[in-house]
Structure 1
């Protein structure tokens, strides 16, 4: 069987989502042993080392970027820091599947923000899909309900931060190396966590905790590698929907590792978010194909 570029890209994206979700699992398992910022800081040291080696080997340690691009790179790094804080705080205090389900709203928020702030086209079909998707998020969060978990708001704030991060990337020059951007983001997250550690109690690490931090570092690095590779292989419109694999993995791990059984409304809300997200990606793909064929017809 011959693998096409799209199939390779889908496999890489699936691997990336699996790796990122396993990383989340290690971090959640640490939540009752090691403080949040200490965990982020220790993991960050390993991530920075690995990304630096990768960037050097791929010749992407090019620091000669314009002031504008450096400004955007730093803003993206700060957005990454805020997203990491909000998401991991939510992850430490709510079911992993619920936190992951809220994060699946990203394609919807990025599309909406792109239309509002970057002037990108947004048809009525995708706008309706986005609004329905937000209803799905409300079913997961359930504000005001008896089962409402305030940390769900943290997960929503992490989506807002990641949306800002992705919008900033769209404004960068395409010549800016992707690994350089990831490395600067990792440095921002690690330095921010290190500063926060100065005002918190440092906990001595036991053998299991050290192994879990090591595992989180390895899997998040593989997540970076696979996600970068996935974006370079195959059509993005074909590969991007495989991001939703992370929700399936989170559901399985949440039940198998933490004994978490999602509520029916959470599953319904997650289904709505995924369905509307897939529709949004499908419409974007069709519009991109239409834009490509129109010039050909004119010629």
Structure 2
């Protein structure tokens, strides 16, 4: 009687940790450049141009190093869903950047471990426990401290990083549970193709609007690019390549609880870029809120039902 051999995907902790640290360094720098470019480019032009630069590298790598991957289905439906969730995440986050300081946007976005814990508990139908509930409460207070919403200064854009966190949490759970066997380069290729599709579709829709409606980071027409602009787009393409490949590798090769903890380095890098690029200095309440969110995120990750998986 023939036995079925089950392939177990082993973790590689040093690779996963090193990868996520380099990934968040590159992504945070790219996001600082996005914020800096938000008054120059429309978001859809950034999506399309940087991904058009990235795709040839991804296709070339797969053709040379893993030609058989083009023939495999590799959970195409889940891969596509993951890609569009991540596109939605980046749209939400990028739209917030022109209206928030980089450190505040980053800290609010990094409530994502709380959502990972909540969604994981819901999927496994298990309780979060006292530590998990405390983490959620602590993170909520931290968000209130840095956003301080009231009737006089309510800012819709401040809630976009929260939506980004929810979308990213679902996408990373899919990466770990449904797309773990998919080649990381193939995941990156799928994501960049989704950027091109969404960005191109949005640009086509905007072109049909009246001129008085076509303005701002969301609805402005595409602009002609200088040599310097091409260089900026090249840096953004490198950032998204590192980010999309690195996140896939890290969450495939390491437990979500551990990788999510190191993922918080993004907040520190964003604080540095905020000071360097924009001379941003959060006040004492904002810094307290940022620290509370980081602590809450670590606690919520460690309260997950399957923290070792």
TM tier relative to shorter chain: 0.7 to 0.9
1:80 aligns with 2:86: yes
1:64 to 63, 72, 75: 72
> C-alpha separation between the residues in 1 aligned to 2:35 and 2:180?
35
Q: Does the alignment pair 1:160 with 2:180?
A: no
Q: Which runs of 5+ in 1 are unaligned?
A: 290-299
Q: Is the 8 A contact 1:62 1:177 kept in 2?
A: no
Residue 33 of structure 1 pairs with residue 40 of structure 2: yes
Secondary structure (helix, strand or coil) at the match of 2:128 reads coil
User: What does the per-residue CA deviation read over 1:151-192, in whole Å, with 9 as the maximum and x for residues that have no partner?
Assistant: 112222212222232343355164333332332122112210
1-side partners of 2:185 and 2:295: how far apart? 31
| Deviation of the 1:6 alpha carbon | 4.4
Q: CA deviation at 1:136?
A: 1.5
* Shift, 1:51, TM fit: 2.7
1:242 equivalenced with 2:257 (yes/no): no
Normalised to the residue count of structure 2, the TM-score between the two structures is: 0.81
1:42-191 equivalences in 2 (<5 Å): 42-59=49-66, 61-65=69-73, 69-119=75-125, 122-144=128-150, 146-172=152-178, 174-191=180-197
**Displacement of 1:57:** 4.4
Question: Cα distance, 1:105 vs. partner?
Answer: 0.9
- TM (normalized to structure 1)? 0.83
SS of residue paired to 1:130: helix
Q: Secondary structure at the match of 1:61?
A: helix
CA contact (8 A) 2:121 2:304 kept: no
1:246-265 equivalence runs, <5 A: 246-265=266-285
**Counterpart of 2:213?**
none
In 2, Cα distance between equivalents of 1:225 and 1:174: 13
Please give the root-mean-square deviation of Cα atoms over the aligned residues, in Å: 2.7
What stretches of structure 2 of length at least 5 have no aligned partner? 1-11, 208-220
Q: Give, in whole Å, the separation in 1 of the partners of 2:94 and 2:41.
A: 13
User: More displaced, 243-252 or 42-51?
Assistant: 42-51
Give the C-alpha shift of residue 7 in structure 1. Answer: 4.7
Aligned partner of residue 278 in structure 1, secondary structure: helix
Paired residues in the alignment total: 283
Local SS of the residue matching 1:14? helix
Please give the per-residue CA displacement for 1:131-160, whole angstroms capped at 9, x wherever unaligned: 321221232232226554321122222122
Q: Deviations over 1:70-123 (max 9, x none)?
A: 322222222122112111111132211111111111111011012124435532
